Structure 1
Amino acid sequence: MDQRPLRAVCEERLGRLELPHRFGTQQLREAVAAMRGKPIILQPLDSNSAADTPCGIRVETPTVDYLFVEQGTSAAHQLHILAHEISHILCDHPGSLSLGDGAAAAIGLNPTLIQRMSGRTAYTTADEREAEYMATLIRQRVYRERLLPARRPAAADERWDAIFA
């Protein structure tokens, strides 16, 4: 399958964020939140509470986007989950997770506030594949930009930081 069209779309979306040469999770969240006009709040997720709970969940409400990230996995995996869930926001995916999927108990939010919800469980849908591709580009850029000269030098963190620090 030719990934060039998907890559071009994802690169364009990522470019709109105008992230600095070196950025961390805070800068990424702030850029996406500014684009959306509402904050992004990170929450730990205990996916051990139910077998069908995803390792990452995005919940959109009228006033805030919540990103739930599995707390019982490695830091590198948490960062990829975060990039994947932020990618759902960047791609404006409608969400396909239902509250009956074990997610309601895991997130503890009032179901009447939820507009859209996505969960990272598999890559069988086009939205999940696109979010995974976008997350991979984000992570590649984070590490590649540390090795190559800055295209747009700016002040930023020197590391891709921990999400629950």
Structure 2
Amino acid sequence: MAGRRSRERLAEVLRRVPLQPPWTVPEFLDWLAEDAGRDIELSPWTGAFTDPGSRCGLLLGGPRRYVIRYDAARSVRHQRQQIFHEVGHILCRHPGEAFRPTDGALTEGLSLAGIEYMMRRTTFDSPTEAEAELVGTHLAVLSRGPIELDAHGELHRIASTFDSLR
């Protein structure tokens, strides 16, 4: 029963997305910003961590913007997965936990103006994390290209037509 509900929820969320895959991260985030009525800022983690490659994605939000943190030391595919997992939280309208940001590892290098809550993984088996992972994985699989703003999504869509001919 839970599997069917998950598939139905995924289909419901994906019906809202008017984009033609494969999309790039910048194309998707442009649409999402318009749909959500908030700016969306990508912000790779900064600063030294003792265990490189161990950082997960993080979503910070407020009434006018979202900030998605991701690990730029990972492969581009893993970066897309982290970003789209956080996008899954936005699309599924998951509530974040109240957050009064201060300077520290979570917020290093960010403007703290307007940040009121965050979504971070404290457990891997919560319903919201499972839902964000399902939606995020599906979106990430349908994406192509680098994370940068000049990812040329139209070229990836043209190239994808040849993939189906193989």
TM bin, normalised by shorter chain, reads 0.7 to 0.9
Q: CA deviation at 1:74?
A: 1.4
Alignment of 1:62-141 (within 5 A): 62-96=63-97, 104-108=104-108, 109=110, 113-120=114-121, 122-140=123-141
SS in structure 2 of the partner of residue 127 of structure 1: helix
- TM-score, normalized by length of structure 1? 0.74
Instruction: Give distance in 1, aligned partners of 2:61 and 2:28.
Output: 17
C-alpha offsets along residues 12-44 of structure 1, whole Å, 9 cap, x if unaligned? 112212112431111211121111111111011
Amino acid at match of 1:91: C
Which 5+ residue runs of structure 2 have no aligned equivalent? Answer: 150-166
- Residues matched between the structures, number: 146
Among all aligned residue pairs of Structure 1 and Structure 2, give the percentage whose two residues are the same amino acid.
27
Q: What is the RMSD of the two structures over their aligned residues, measured on CA atoms?
A: 2.9
Task: Tell me if the contact between 1:11 and 1:137 (Cα under 8 Å) persists in the aligned partners.
Answer: no
**Cα 1:22/1:40, change in 2 over 3 Å:** same
* 2:45/2:70 contact within 8 Å kept: yes
Cα contact 2:99–2:117 (8 A) shared by 1: no
Query: How has the CA–CA distance of structure 1 residues 57 and 50 changed in structure 2, closer, same or farther, with 3 Å as cutoff?
Result: farther
Q: Normalization by structure 2: what TM-score?
A: 0.73
Question: Compared with structure 1, are the counterparts of its residues 125 and 103 closer, same or farther at alpha carbon in structure 2 (3 Å cutoff)?
Answer: farther
Instruction: Evaluate the alpha carbon distance shift between residue 139 and residue 71 of structure 1 in structure 2; reply closer, same or farther with a 3 A threshold.
Output: closer
Structure 1 residue ranges without an equivalent (≥5): 144-159
**Distance (whole Å) between structure 2 residues aligned to residue 49 and residue 105 of structure 1:** 9
Q: 1:122: Cα distance to partner?
A: 4.2
- 1:49 is matched with 49
Higher relative contact order (CA 8 A, sep 6+): 1
